[in-house]
A and B are shown apart, each in its own frame.
Chain A
Amino acid sequence: MVGTRFPGVLAASLLAALVATAVAVRAAAAFPLLAENTPNDRGQSVSLSWTSPTPPPARWILLRRQSGGAFAPIDTLEGTVHSFTDESEDKKGVQDGVAYQYQLLADPPNPALNSDVSSAATPGPEWVDTAKMNVLVVLLLFFAVLFYYINQAHRGVRWKFRTIPGLIAIEEAIGRATEMGKGVLYIPGVQDIDDIQTIASMIILANVARMTAKYETRLSVPTNAPAVYTVADEVVKSSYQDVGRADAYQTDMVRYVTTEQFAYVAAVNGMMLRERPAANLLLGAFFAESLLLAETGHSIGAIQIAGTANVHQMPFLVVACDYTLIGEEYFAASALLSNEALLLGSLKAADVVKLIMIVLILCGCLLMSFGHPLVAEWFATQ
């Protein structure tokens, strides 16, 4: 209670009177107080909710008792509040497995505004968070489809996928570079080797290296991470061996330039202006430097093909390059080139899930248009 001049004992007795009046005046125009075990939590928590009468009192005094015990105040709430969670981190709060009852007393005291005594609520933890059922269902559906198709792919099943214009453009660009007797510059992005886009770039590099080996076209691959250098060098060397042109492979084809973003750009732009490659392939994770690389490449008249999943760099690559692989097209291209069961199975699974989603959204919208928002509600997390 607010620090009154009278000693604490007087305040306590005033409170006792309050409690007594609450119990005595049962039939006053009270309002229901709902108490329930807080759902989807780790236990030791009771949730209270009510619709306070209008006008609500200035404050509420919240009383709690264990079944059979005496009411005792545990908190003072603002009058405007209409819900409260009774929990506390240290062990003094409500305990699991014990039944509790609550009541709201108006402060300043006004028996007409007090609430009913709530039904007994027993706090306890839950094993499953029901609010996240839709996420669980979506995930389980996707995993099921994913592993089904990966399994199919491992058993040798192959599906027909659409041609990816970007891949054809890469072959044409290398062919043109060979005719003009010029080189091919392959930039594998600026992320380290653990980035999924860099791994995909290594797969495409393997195919590009096979082509440059066959056509004896000059290939240079500047990297900006030591780990990417070691992997790329390995990929290019084995590609040249696959095509039986191990002799055409030179150690300076793949080079580690530097890790710092702008120093790497300055060095690669320098290489472009000196070596004047006929084809620039920018495939991997790019950030703010994609603009600078694409601009210099454009200024030397090279055919430029770019691909990245970093969508924020797409605008610069689309306008400056001859062809761009947009987001998922980039990953699909590397999956098709790799011909690996794991990647092809995942690609097919993603397609099937997209088809399900398209149908689902269409049905959901049609139902919504006729006034049945059940699909939207199921997706909205509670």
Chain B
Amino acid sequence: MKRQIPTLITLVAGLFCLIGFFVPHPAIRTLYDDIQQWVIVIVGATYVLGVANLLRINLGQMSARARDWPFKVVLLVGLIGTTAIGFSEGTHYLDPTSRFTWIYNTFYSSMSSTMFSLLAFFIASAAFRAFRIRSFEALLLAIAAFILMIGRVPIGNAIHPAIPAAADWLMEVPQNAAKRGILIGAALGVVATGIRLILGMERTYGGRGAGGTS
């Protein structure tokens, strides 16, 4: 009994939303909109659940004096402090002068942008240590990378306007052809996996994660 109901919910909600896409009639579209509005709220709740999980795991590790537990304390202070200040300011939490916005600018914004900027260093060292041109395919990759890297910055245009032109052509024709092949292949994969998920044929292990930056 516990196993069938979730599969039934997925089946009904999934098929209904699939049909709802093609039917503008209010008899269907009104409930279609309702279901999607509900899931917006439930997805919001899964984010809160995720953070609650993080809180539980770190509290456990801290009390059990697991490895690196002092750093877990830092994490918990950051988590509970930010949450408390945020809720204390009510709907003004994101006003330009609020303490929550100060935390956002000082801690979240600064560290988040620095984390990704580390990659500039690693790309340079990997270019030297791990960019082996040992086949014709790798050579093609390297040539395209050169044209793009030099063509997309002002220095390329200064050296010779043909470089940015070559970069544009390379992006609009060969790159487009291959990317479109990948897009179509991926689309077939998503549609196949999607319908298998809705019909309960796919084996899944858990809930849906949030978005992310590649």
Of A146, A327, A349, the contact of B186 (CB 8 Å cutoff): A327
Query: Given A42-B26, A125-B25, A287-B214, does the pair A143, B195 have CB atoms closer than 8 Å?
Result: yes
Contact B130 A346 (CB under 8 A): no
Chain A residues, CB < 8 A from B154: none
What does DSSP make chain A's interface, helix, strand, loop or mixed? helix
Stretch at the interface among A97-105, A156-164, A192-200, A246-254: A192-200
CB distance from A208 to the nearest CB of B (A): 19
- Stretch in contact with the other chain, from B3-11, B94-102, B160-168, B204-212: B204-212
Give chain B nearest CB distance to A56 CB in angstroms: 32
Interface SS, B side: helix
Q: Is B174 on the interface with A (CB-CB < 8 A)? A: no
B2 contacts the other chain (CB 8 A): no
A193 partner residues in chain B, CB cutoff 8 A = 205-206
- In the complex, whether B29 has a CB less than 8 A from a CB of chain A is yes
Known interface pairs A142-B191, A350-B188; A319-B138 also in contact (CB < 8 Å):
yes
CB of B205 within 8 A of CB of A295, answer no
Choose from A309, A311, A342 the contact partner of B196 (Cβ within 8 Å).
Answer: A342
Q: Which of A143, A318, A328 contacts B141 (CB 8 A)?
A: A318
Asked if B130 and A294 sit within 8 Å, CB to CB, the answer is yes
Give bound CA distance, A310 to B212, whole Å.
12
Residue pair A126, B24 in contact (C-beta under 8 Å): yes
Q: Which residues of B contact A261 (CB under 8 A)?
A: 115
Given contacts A139-B191, A194-B209, A328-B185, contact A128 B22 (CB under 8 A): yes
Chain B residues within an 8 Å CB radius of A354: 184-185, 188
Asked if A315 is at the interface of the complex by the 8 Å CB criterion, the answer is yes
Which B residues lie within 8 Å of A298 (CB)?
129-130, 132
Q: Which of B57, B122, B145, B184 contacts A315 (CB 8 A)?
A: B145
* Bound-state Cα–Cα, A160 to B196, Å: 23
The 8 Å CB contact of A309, one of B26, B142, B186, is: B186
Which residue of B is nearest A191, CB measured? B209
Q: Are A295 and B130 in contact (CB under 8 A)?
A: yes
B51 within 8 A of A: no
Partner of B193, one of A196, A299, A310: A196
Contact status B129-A129, CB under 8 Å: no
Docked pose: A331 CA to B190 CA in angstroms: 12
Interface residue from B24, B184, B195 paired with A125 (Cβ < 8 Å): B24
Q: Do residues A320 and B126 form an inter-chain contact, with CB atoms below 8 A?
A: yes
Give the nearest-CB partner of B123 in chain A. A291
> What 1/0 mask marks residues of chain A from 52 to 93 whose CB sits below 8 Å from any chain B CB?
000000000000000000000000000000000000000000
Q: Which residues of B contact A142 (CB under 8 A)?
A: 188, 191-192
Pick the contact of A41: B24, B116, B184, B203 (CB < 8 A). Answer: B24
A316 B126 Cβ-Cβ under 8 A: yes
Q: Are A40 and B24 in contact (CB under 8 A)?
A: yes
Q: Are A146 and B126 in contact (CB under 8 A)?
A: no
Does A132 make an interface contact (CB < 8 A)? yes
B130 in contact with A320 (CB, 8 Å): yes
Residue pair B119, A288 in contact (C-beta under 8 Å): yes
Smallest Cβ-Cβ distance to A146: which chain B residue:
B192
Tell me whether B205 and A315 are in contact (CB under 8 A).
Answer: no
Nearest B residue (CB) for A328: B185
- A292 proximal to B (CB < 8 A): yes
Select the residue from A136, A150, A191, A316 with max chain B CB neighbours within 10 A: A316
Q: Are B122 and A295 closer than 8 Å at their CB atoms?
A: yes
B52 within 8 A of A: no
By a CB distance below 8 angstroms, the chain B residues around A327 are: 182, 185-186
- Nearest CB on A from B11, distance (A): 15
A126-167 contacts to B, CB under 8 A, are 126-129, 132, 135-136, 139, 142-143, 146, 150
CB contacts (< 8 Å) of B38 on chain A: these are none
A295, B123: Cα distance in complex, Å: 9
Interchain residue pairs with CB less than 8 A apart (5): A142-B188, A142-B191, A194-B207, A196-B193, A316-B130
> A193-B206, A288-B214, A346-B192 are known contacts; what are 12 more A-B pairs with Cβ within 8 Å?
A41-B24, A125-B26, A194-B206, A194-B208, A227-B205, A291-B123, A291-B126, A299-B129, A311-B182, A319-B131, A327-B182, A350-B192
